């Protein structure tokens, strides 16, 4: 088999951002592991011996034949691109052909490899500059084992500049976690000093993998959404470079439900594009804004965004570590991301079914029901046949059943029942109405306020109120938010608004003041209307202060609690 690794032509080398990317254990691990993923590996074993400055990455990927092995560490040699046009078709994590070459200048490099379908494996030892020093036949399973030893051995100033071993190992772990989240189908085994350090098992989706990395989070705290989206229409200057652009892109979101999990730092707002974690202040900001007024103060969401975009939309070539990217038509992607997050946060029949119908207990329950002719809630029992929920129309599936303590609405749905706190559910409804339509209407006679400070007057003007002096220590307010109009306490409400905050804070305050109080009796019709309006909100899970709105008693949890999976005959001792 001929070599598929080739040196890049000079003009391509000039186009590629030059840069030394190997500066730590973590960067070595990243480069080697990315090569394994590019080789299609599904099992990767990383071993590190920090005191020996040695790192080994073994994979079950496609492997290399002898020709490729001999070429692999020479300058700018890659099997992944050939020409400058290929820079717009990058589907791999690597493409510069620099990593192995750099490693031969910074460390001792040995590679064992056997191509899939090849009879023999080979061991190659490389010298400075990627020169081949030794070649032997070796017994090895298909795949590749790369060993980097004596890292930075010829450059002691680099070693001295590095943080402590513990910190470096933390960075290695973080690097592997990030990569694993982008490639959930891979099984990982990580060893340090010949002992197992941690493992990550493959999962069907990133959401199913995430609890292995963030153990505080459980599967049910997360909602996954996948959206297929067309690529944006190319603007003029892109047309020359673009090739065929009929491909679809996809947005994959793993969203921590705001009533179940959040963080005190924005450390889990993460963005990946085409298999690679990237820094994108713009997209991170978009994510944070989609969670605005759904979380308690100073808390941040958990949200992992993975964009799978056709490569002609991306310029990876901005910086050597490829962590910064230039994305065409960023506002288009931002809009799509908001759509996706809203879809994940909304309460819909489809979202519910995910959590309710995947548990083992509910499967058992279904089996038991089929035999016993037992039926929970006959009107709704055929919910499996319902037309799948579209993101545009949310059917009302919650039925008001009763009110408890003049505070909680008992709501029944096909998967169980919820207790909904009436005040904050209503507050959520009103808040979103106010955000969509902040309507100020004039009042006659004006509302008179006393003893306002200049800051208070300014604040009221900032949120759009028409306010002017009306005499000694008196001010006249000639308009106010429509929602407050009918209220007797509107002077008090305006005073509250004058105490500060931005428009959104004012909207929260108005919603809170106008929402039905706890302790107020409601009839079934009123409760049903509130439930209907509430389940149509964009962020039904939490109120604008971040408090959870409902407590769910899923049918599966009830079944578990009441031991409904017991076989009746057996529990009677028959």
Among 80, 262, 322, 423, binds ligand ADP (CB under 6 A): 80
Q: How many other CB atoms are there within 10 angstroms of residue 373's CB atom?
A: 6
Distance separating the N- and C-terminal Cα atoms of the chain: 70
Nearer to ligand ADP, 70 or 528 (CB): 70
Can residue 47 be called a binding residue for Mg ion (CB under 5 A)? Answer: no
Tokens representing residue 525 in the block: 């019709």
Tokens representing residue 431 in the block: 């808040």
Q: Is 110 exposed, middle or buried (0-12, 13-18, 19+ CB in 10 A)?
A: middle
97 binds, among ligand ADP, Mg ion, none (CB under 5 to 8 A by kind): ligand ADP
Residue nearest to Mg ion (CB): 94
CB neighbour list of residue 461: distance below 8 Å, 6 or more residues apart? 467
Q: Is 103 exposed, middle or buried (0-12, 13-18, 19+ CB in 10 A)?
A: buried
Instruction: Specify the stretch interacting with ligand ADP by CB under 6 A; choose among 78-86, 132-140, 484-492, 510-518.
Output: 78-86
What angle, rounded to 10 degrees, do the helices at 330-345 and 281-290 form? Answer: 30
Q: CB of 96: closest distance to ligand ADP in angstroms?
A: 5
Instruction: Specify the stretch interacting with Mg ion by CB under 5 A; choose among 92-100, 182-190, 413-421, 503-511.
Output: 92-100
Q: Which of residues 178-217 bind ligand ADP (CB under 6 A)?
A: none
Can residue 64 be called a binding residue for ligand ADP (CB under 6 A)? Answer: yes
Q: Put the strands of the sheet holding 440-450 in their side by side order.
A: 440-450, 474-481, 467-471
Among 25, 94, 171, 527, binds ligand ADP (CB under 6 A): 94
For residues 375 and 380, give the distance between their C-alpha atoms in angstroms, rounded to a whole number: 10
Can residue 418 be called a binding residue for ligand ADP (CB under 6 A)? Answer: no
Residues 410, 403: contact at Cβ < 8 Å?
yes
Can residue 94 be called a binding residue for Mg ion (CB under 5 A)? Answer: yes
CB neighbour list of residue 133: distance below 8 Å, 6 or more residues apart? 125, 126, 127
For residues 39 and 33, give the distance between their C-alpha atoms in angstroms, rounded to a whole number: 10
Among 8, 39, 99, 302, binds Mg ion (CB under 5 A): 99
**DSSP state, 396?**
-
Among 35, 92, 249, 313, binds Mg ion (CB under 5 A): 35
Can residue 108 be called a binding residue for ligand ADP (CB under 6 A)? Answer: no
Can residue 144 be called a binding residue for ligand ADP (CB under 6 A)? Answer: yes
Residues 281, 192: contact at Cβ < 8 Å?
no
Can residue 355 be called a binding residue for ligand ADP (CB under 6 A)? Answer: no
72 binds, among ligand ADP, Mg ion, none (CB under 5 to 8 A by kind): ligand ADP
Q: Which of residues 441-470 bind ligand ADP (CB under 6 A)?
A: none
Q: Which of residues 24-63 bind ligand ADP (CB under 6 A)?
A: 31, 35-36, 39, 59, 61-63
> Which residue ranges make up the site for Mg ion (CB under 5 A)?
35, 94, 99
> Which residue ranges make up the site for ligand ADP (CB under 6 A)?
5, 31, 35-36, 39, 59, 61-64, 72, 77-80, 94-101, 144
């Amino acid at each position: 088999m001929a070599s598929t690794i080739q040196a890049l032509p000079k003009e391509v080398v000039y186009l590629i951002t030059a840069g030394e990317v190997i500066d730590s254990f973590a960067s070595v691990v990243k480069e080697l592991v990315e090569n394994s993923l590019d080789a299609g590996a599904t099992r990767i074993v990383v071993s590190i011996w920090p005191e020996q400055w040695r790192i080994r990455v073994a994979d079950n990927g496609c492997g290399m034949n002898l020709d490729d092995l001999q070429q692999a560490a020479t300058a700018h040699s890659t099997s992944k691109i050939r020409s400058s046009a290929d820079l717009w078709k990058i589907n791999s994590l690597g493409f510069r052909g620099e990593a192995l070459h750099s490693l031969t200048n910074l460390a001792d490099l040995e590679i064992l490899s056997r191509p899939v379908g090849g009879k023999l494996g080979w061991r190659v030892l490389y010298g400075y500059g990627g020169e081949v020093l030794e070649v032997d036949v070796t017994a090895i399973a298909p795949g590749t084992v790369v060993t980097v030893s004596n890292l930075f051995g010829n450059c002691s100033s680099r070693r001295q500049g590095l943080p402590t071993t513990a910190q470096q190992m933390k960075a290695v772990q973080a690097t592997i976690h990030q990569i694993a989240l982008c490639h959930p189908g891979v099984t990982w085994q990580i060893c340090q000093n010949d002992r197992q350090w941690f493992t990550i098992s493959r999962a069907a989706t990133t959401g199913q993998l995430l609890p292995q990395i963030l153990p505080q989070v459980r599967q049910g705290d997360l909602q996954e959404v996948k959206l297929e989206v067309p690529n944006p229409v190319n603007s003029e200057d892109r047309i020359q470079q673009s090739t065929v652009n009929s491909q679809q892109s996809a947005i994959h979101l793993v969203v921590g439900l705001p009533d179940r999990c959040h963080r005190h730092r924005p450390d889990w707002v993460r963005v990946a594009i085409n298999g690679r974690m990237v820094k994108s202040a713009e997209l991170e900001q978009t994510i944070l804004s989609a969670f605005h007024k759904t979380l308690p103060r100073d808390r941040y969401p958990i949200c992992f965004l993975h964009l799978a975009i056709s490569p002609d939309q991306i310029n990876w070539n901005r910086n050597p570590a490829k962590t910064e990217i230039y994305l065409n038509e960023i506002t288009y992607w931002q809009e799509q991301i908001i759509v996706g997050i809203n879809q994940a946060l909304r309460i819909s029949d489809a979202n519910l079914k995910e959590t309710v119908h995947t548990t083992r207990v509910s499967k058992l329950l279904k089996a038991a029901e089929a035999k016993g002719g037992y039926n929970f809630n006959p009107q709704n029992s055929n919910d499996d046949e319902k037309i799948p929920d579209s993101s545009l129309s949310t059917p009302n599936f919650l039925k008001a059943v009763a009110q408890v303590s003049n505070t909680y609405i008992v709501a029944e749905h096909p998967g169980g029942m919820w207790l909904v706190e009436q005040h904050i559910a209503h507050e959520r409804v009103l808040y979103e109405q106010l955000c969509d339509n902040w309507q100020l209407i004039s009042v006659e006679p004006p509302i008179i306020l006393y003893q306002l400070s200049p800051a208070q007057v300014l604040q009221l003007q900032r949120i759009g109120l028409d306010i002017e002096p009306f005499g000694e220590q008196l001010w006249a307010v000639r308009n106010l938010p429509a929602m407050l109009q009918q209220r007797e306490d509107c002077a008090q409400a305006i005073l509250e608004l004058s105490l500060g905050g931005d428009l959104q804070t004012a909207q929260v305050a108005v919603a809170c003041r106008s929402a039905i109080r706890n302790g107020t009796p409601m009839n079934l019709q009123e409760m049903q209307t509130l439930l209907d309006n509430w389940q149509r909100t964009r962020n039904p899970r939490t109120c604008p202060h971040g408090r959870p709105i409902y407590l769910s008693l899923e049918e599966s949890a009830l079944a578990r609690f009441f031991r409904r999976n017991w076989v009746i005959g057996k529990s009677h001792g028959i």
